[in-house]
Amino acid sequence: MNRIDELLEKIEDLESELRSELLIIQDRFRYTVNKKKVRFSKEIKAQHRELAAKWSEYVYDSGVWVILTIPFIWLPLIPAFILDLGVCIYQAVCFPVYGIPKVKRSDYVVLDRHSLKYLNLIEKLNCCYCGYFNGLIAFVREVAGRTEQYWCPIRHARPVKSVHSRYRKFFEYGDAESYKDGLNKVREDFKEND
């Protein structure tokens, strides 16, 4: 195992540690998640309702300049919906042909903050936007990562700011021998996705 693989493994370990820490937070704020539904105790729900800002105050406190940016925030949803549909169709058609396991969209696009009682209607709508958009980008990244693993699993020569989940399986840049000898094996290595 080379140094890059060691670092990528450490990242995976940290992500696992993060998931464990999130479970501790879940306990601290007294909620449960069952079948993708979040449940708070009655007393916590009541507490949250008291903390919710009125939407009219929220808009007023935002200021004119923030309000004027709203169309620019929401406009990208149109291409996002098209991207979402296109990627779903792409993986439905192509992944079975390539033998790549499909990415479960619902693992990435998570819309659950709208049920928080301490958010007003506008905040809930904003949270849906962010959950959808960031989840969509993560979903698309995973689909693209699996596609890249199949078609061109070679690491870049230059450092990249952030790598996707499949990158650790890629061949070193310039390692022609390993690429030629191991391409078919890497193309089939989706074990942890089954």
> Averaged in consecutive runs of 10 residues, what is the pLDDT profile of the chain (194 residues)?
81 84 76 75 74 69 82 94 98 97 95 86 91 97 96 93 90 92 92 61
Domain count, the chain: 1
Predicted pLDDT of residue 1: 66
Predicted pLDDT of residue 9: 84
Q: Which residue has the tokens 């390692």?
A: 175
CB atoms within 10 A of CB 84: 19
Give 39's strand partners.
Answer: 32
- Supply the range of the domain harboring residue 48: 41-193
Predicted pLDDT of residue 100: 96
| Residue 162 belongs to some domain of the structure | yes
Retrieve residue 43's tokens.
């007393």
| Residue 7 belongs to some domain of the structure | no
Distance CA 15, CA 21 (A): 10
| Residue 11 belongs to some domain of the structure | no
- In sequence order, what DSSP letters do the residues of 156-176 get, joined into one string? -SS--S---TTGGGSBPTT-H
| Residue 87 belongs to some domain of the structure | yes
Q: Do residues 69 and 125 lie in contact, with contact meaning Cβ atoms separated by under 8 Å?
A: no
Predicted pLDDT of residue 102: 96
Kind plus residue range of the DSSP H or E element containing 33: strand 31-34
| Residue 25 belongs to some domain of the structure | no
> Which amino acid is it at 65?
W
Question: What CA–CA distances, in Å, run from 118 to 22, 69, 85, 121, 180?
Answer: 20, 24, 33, 10, 56
| Residue 14 belongs to some domain of the structure | no
| Residue 168 belongs to some domain of the structure | yes
Predicted pLDDT of residue 184: 92
Retrieve residue 24's tokens.
């501790």
**Secondary structure percentages of the chain, helix, strand, coil, to 5:** 70, 5, 25
Distance of CA 115 to the CA centre of its chain: 20
Predicted pLDDT of residue 148: 96
Distance CA 148, CA 167 (A): 9
**N-term to C-term CA, the chain:** 24
| Residue 156 belongs to some domain of the structure | yes
Q: Do residues 170 and 149 lie in contact, with contact meaning Cβ atoms separated by under 8 Å?
A: yes
Predicted pLDDT of residue 194: 44
